[in-house]
Structure 1
Amino acid sequence: MAIHLPHIEDTDSMNYYPPKGDYETFVDEAHYEEKVREWGLSTTREVKKEFWFKEKTFQRLVTIKGYEVYGKTAEGNTIVIEFQDGNLSCIHPSYLKEMQSPSFGKASLTETTTIAVPVSDTKNSPTPKVEKSEPKQKAPAEKKEKPKKIELPEEKVHFTATVKQFAYTWNHFNEENDEVVVLENVVIEQDQPLELGLAWCSHSKTLKKFELSPGEALEFDGKIIKKKLAKGKDVEDDAFIIEEAVSYKLNNPSKIKKS
């Protein structure tokens, strides 16, 4: 059945939410495919290039130009889409995924045309204090010293690390297991080297070209964020990975060399 699309001028009432300043773009085709699959927007062998943006009175094809990161640990993504008229706007991955359903918007959309954007992080409301009676002459509890917070660089930096293992971790976007690489002895090489211990990254097509093996030492450039590795299984021996042990994720590794 043919889909009748309205003229461009019909979108004059739309509220666009363009990205605020610079946003992340894709390094190459492999990086694009990795992110689109991570967002659950394509499960086919060939990753889709166009997606439907739907409202109650029309639907349009859009392309993905890049993404923004948000959240205290920068683990959230907002997709930057481009309309056929050249306008850019931001939308949450899960909302764009819903729009690909044939039944989307048939009964629930409002008359006003808007584009969904992620709600910014809100502070937790303070819990009301409850006065508790304490035993008399109770010794004050010793204050535990908080671990020193590590300030992660926002820009690309140079790393050295060692391949620890390959693993599968569950991706709730596409409801499939994703293969990842767990690295140990991860160090940011700078004037004062910063030791991070364990980190992980997606076992992308780019990395697979290097045919990595556990125990191999690497150096590369990349970005790092604080994002725990979801509990998963080792590729080889089916052993569980401890979620708390891997707290950092490496994005877009490039200029990779085996030491």
Structure 2
Amino acid sequence: MARLPIQETQKDLTQYIPPKGEYESFRDEDHYKEKLKEWGLSSAREAKKEFWYKDRNAQRIVTIKGYEAYGNNGEFNTLVIEFQDGKVSCIHPAYLKEMQSGSFGKESLLTIEEKEITENTESAPVKKETAQKEESPKPKAKEAKPKKEKAPKLELPADKVHFTATVKQFAMTYNPFNEENDEVVVLENVLIVQDNPLELGLAWCSHSKTLKKFELAPGDSLEFDGKVTAKKLGKGKDVEEEFLVDEPVLYKVNNPSKIVKK
């Protein structure tokens, strides 16, 4: 990637958002490639190392040093990028991906979305006044349908825990970032081993290079460590029936380690 000269005035105008504290770093090259693919930033065999950072004042080269996890169960990520002068800043993965486009300009997709929300908010009272002027019969009140009782929401541990589980099947899920299907492992009888064991039922995880080394098959029993988040498994696009799951899978296991196949 060609490097452009950076003027001191451009660097001074860049707005940095430093990490709030310690952030997650990549365990190894495979983990780095897996996260890039998840964010839609690179799906090539050789993981991309440098990215463009663009704003109204500058166009600079950055590298990804790690990421912050946020959300109730850490299911969302913010990237920590490093500039060539050593300064670091945080950025959303989708925004950095957008910056790689040659058509990226002053008004990004995120800015457009904010503008649309503002316009819709401002126009709402006008529509309400117009509706009040029109004389029309009031619709009959619909009979309220009884609400279905929802299953109680599980309180998932935030830290890494120990699991036991059985391989149910392999499946495909559509990844909107790279517009491809990713292979995953669907687990059943998933149990978090702790003082008060927590049964999750079904869960899923990426079929990473680490897992592929174990040559898993349906029915295999596993023990491993990992973090769990409330993230539903999406369906793959145009895949064979054997790669579809016939019931909802509501939990995802991230970065399984210390894997033991029984």
Per the TM superposition, whether the score is higher than 0.5 is yes
Q: State the percentage of identical aligned residues.
A: 66
Residue 174 of structure 1 is matched in structure 2 by 178
Match of 1:202 among 206, 212, 228: 206
4+ runs deviating over 6 angstroms: 132-135, 140-144, 233-236
User: Where do 5+ consecutive residues of structure 2 fail to align?
Assistant: 115-139
Matched pairs, number: 236
Residue 61 of structure 1 is matched in structure 2 by 61
> Aligned partners of 2:235, 2:172: CA distance in 1, in Å?
9
TM-fit CA distance, 1:133? 6.5
SS in 2 for 1:245: coil
Deviations 1:2-55 (A, max 9, x none): 653214563122221112223222222111101101111113221101111112
Residue 223 of structure 1 is matched in structure 2 by 227
Q: Which has the higher helix share?
A: 2
SS in 1 for 2:214: coil
Residue 83 of structure 2 is matched in structure 1 by 83
Preserved CA contact (<8 Å) 1:234 1:240: no
Q: TM-score, normalised by structure 2?
A: 0.79
Q: Residue 200 of structure 1 aligns to which amino acid in structure 2?
A: W
1:149 aligns with 2:153: yes
Preserved CA contact (<8 Å) 2:170 2:186: yes
Q: TM-score, normalised by structure 1?
A: 0.80
> Aligned partners of 1:61, 1:257: CA distance in 2, in Å?
41
Residue 126 of structure 1 is matched in structure 2 by none
TM-fit CA distance, 1:239? 5.0
1:10 aligns with 2:10: yes
SS in 2 for 1:221: strand
User: In the TM superposition, what are the counterparts of 1:105-116 in structure 2 within 5 Å?
Assistant: 105=105, 108=106
TM-fit CA distance, 1:148? 2.5
Residue 38 of structure 2 is matched in structure 1 by 38
TM-fit CA distance, 1:144? 6.3
> Aligned partners of 1:237, 1:142: CA distance in 2, in Å?
35
> Aligned partners of 2:161, 2:41: CA distance in 1, in Å?
30
